[in-house]
Chain A
Amino acid sequence: MARILTYEEKDTWIHRLSGVTKLVFFLLWTLTSMLTYDTRVLLVMVVFSFVIYSMSRTKWRQVGSVLKFIAVFLVINLIAIFFFAPYEGVNIYGSRTELLHLFGNYTITKEQLFYEFNVMIKYFTIVPAVFMFVVTTNPSEFAASLNRIGVSYNIGYAIAIALRYIPDVQDDFTQIKHAQEARGIEMSSKASFMSRVRNMASIIFPLIFTSMDRIDVVSNAMELRGFGKHKKRTWYAGRKFTAADYITLAVTVLITVTALVITFYDGSRFYNPFL
């Protein structure tokens, strides 16, 4: 199983930011890029995304496998959009410039290509932001930050545990899968559907039991150390807000507001170059 994104210690200004700042950036950034279809806004955001991404000094090996997965997914998605709604672009931009007739009811139009281009660069704006948030935020520090902005420390801790244990659970899954494959179960597409479901169950059940064990071990350890005794707790990994945090927050809010104003001032989410 492909390893997913995990935090890696580095010393850049992005790593030094508080987890709250990065969370706010992440939420506002994805919200903006979800709402806007304005090509100009999106292109500016793409540039920003890549600048920030390169500043975070993220290495290819950290994100490569996930990126490849997303790339494949993006291509499938773009093709699927075309086959499910070949004239979405024509509807949106209100004009029709045919480029190439394919077959039956399918004609490639300039409007459709432009619409799908927008969908594509939406991915390019969000993906670096997600990567950056995940690989630069220390899970423990993130839990501390969540608690600081008023989230119950139980929930903060649960999220930190989740982020911390995803790779471990993935390792468990791979090990169990290999063990079962060694015993002769077939997990590839060669097997029939029903036998794949059965074989999947022979991986999932051991995985669930291992995880239940893990829950016992971790909660016993936490109990021994007196977790949950008091209403408040202090955080080893907590981080104070610095000037850089305030500046980042201000710039993020500014970008979001500007982007939304530019997007919506003419009453449409779309930038229409075909007028």
Chain B
Amino acid sequence: MKIRDFQSRDLWLRVAGHRLVVRKSSAEMERKMEKRFGIKEVVAIGIGTALFVALTQVQIPLGLPNTYLQPRMAVLAFLAAVFGPVVGGVVGVIGHALGDAFFYGSVWWSWVFPEAVVGIAIGLFAAKYAIKEGAFDKKAMIVFNIAQVVGNAVAWIVVAPLLDVLIYKEPALKVIATGRRRMSWQCAADRSAGYASGSRLFQNRCEVFEP
């Protein structure tokens, strides 16, 4: 950041010897944000979430117990790629939470947030894909696939099991800890096997084991 960009309303922080500038609310910044998050994005989140939730029920069984191919993941990837990380992340969170609530009668929170990680990861490079401009070429496809593989891996191999531990296994409750940990690592293994075999649509539903 150049010095002359600095404004009097900005907040300075000193973190570990580095000087950080946290911009509070400069008008310019807000105008930029508005541009990125306009009416179209609001509606995209709305209709996208509706699409995601409606497709929750549409699953193709893979033959393994509780493991399905979920077309809704493809929809999430598409929305994130077209509308960017904010839309991707929010559709992931709200869509998964609502879908769980409507179809399973309870919400498995530690799986809701990884969904956002996938959406954000794919959405971060939305400008690179230039789908709206009609230029989804070979290079864009490569970027997209790297983003989705990394995003999915981080989400389901790192974030989901981590949250499973944080949210559902408090140390005081050792009684059930062993059972659930076994379950969640098993899920992680299943998931990584799914991704290793090359499909971004894989997501198994270990979450069915406890409401």
Bound pair (A, B): yes
Do most interface residues of chain A lie in helix, strand or loop, or is the interface mixed?
A: helix
Using A155-B90, A269-B176 as known contacts, say yes or no to A215 and B44 having CB atoms under 8 A apart. yes
Q: 1/0 per position for B141-175, CB-CB distance to A under 8 A? A: 00000000000000000000000000000001101
Q: Give chain B residues whose Cβ lies under 8 Å from the Cβ of A170.
A: 54
- Verify if A47 is at the interface (C-beta below 8 Å from B): no
Question: Which of B40, B66, B74 is close to A215, meaning CB atoms less than 8 Å apart?
Answer: B40
Using A84-B209, A169-B50, A267-B172 as known contacts, say yes or no to A157 and B101 having CB atoms under 8 A apart. no
- Verify if A55 is at the interface (C-beta below 8 Å from B): no
Question: Which of B54, B104, B211 is close to A173, meaning CB atoms less than 8 Å apart?
Answer: B54
Q: Which of A99-107, A217-225, A232-240 contacts B (4 or more CB under 8 A)?
A: A217-225
Q: Give chain A residues whose Cβ lies under 8 Å from the Cβ of B46.
A: 157-162, 164-165, 218
Do B103 and A159 touch (CB < 8 A)?
no
What class of interface size applies to chain A in its complex with B? 35 or more
Nearest Cβ on chain B to A55's Cβ, whole angstroms: 19
Q: Give chain B residues whose Cβ lies under 8 Å from the Cβ of A162.
A: 45-50, 53, 94-95, 98
Nearest Cβ on chain A to B126's Cβ, whole angstroms: 15
- Verify if A186 is at the interface (C-beta below 8 Å from B): no
Q: Which of B37, B55, B74 has the most CB of A within 10 A?
A: B55
Using A169-B54, A173-B58 as known contacts, say yes or no to A228 and B47 having CB atoms under 8 A apart. no
Do B175 and A77 touch (CB < 8 A)?
no
Do B71 and A200 touch (CB < 8 A)?
yes
Q: Give chain B residues whose Cβ lies under 8 Å from the Cβ of A267.
A: 172
Considering only residues 157-202 of chain A, those with a C-beta below 8 Å from chain B are 157-166, 168-170, 173, 189, 193, 196-197, 200
Do B47 and A123 touch (CB < 8 A)?
no
Q: Give chain A residues whose Cβ lies under 8 Å from the Cβ of B134.
A: none
Q: Give chain A residues whose Cβ lies under 8 Å from the Cβ of B210.
A: 119
What class of interface size applies to chain B in its complex with A? 35 or more
* Cα separation A189 to B173 with both chains bound (whole Å): 42
Q: Give chain A residues whose Cβ lies under 8 Å from the Cβ of B101.
A: 130, 134
Using A168-B50, A170-B54, A173-B55 as known contacts, say yes or no to A30 and B106 having CB atoms under 8 A apart. yes
Task: Pull 27 A–B residue pairs with CB atoms less than 8 Å apart, ordered by A.
Answer: A2-B57, A4-B53, A77-B209, A80-B66, A80-B208, A81-B209, A85-B179, A88-B179, A91-B179, A123-B211, A155-B45, A158-B94, A161-B49, A162-B49, A164-B46, A165-B47, A170-B54, A173-B54, A204-B75, A207-B51, A208-B78, A219-B39, A219-B42, A222-B43, A223-B39, A228-B42, A269-B175
For the complex with contacts A158-B42, A193-B62, A218-B47, 7 further pairs of A-B residues with Cβ separation under 8 Å are A80-B208, A92-B176, A119-B211, A169-B54, A200-B60, A219-B42, A269-B176
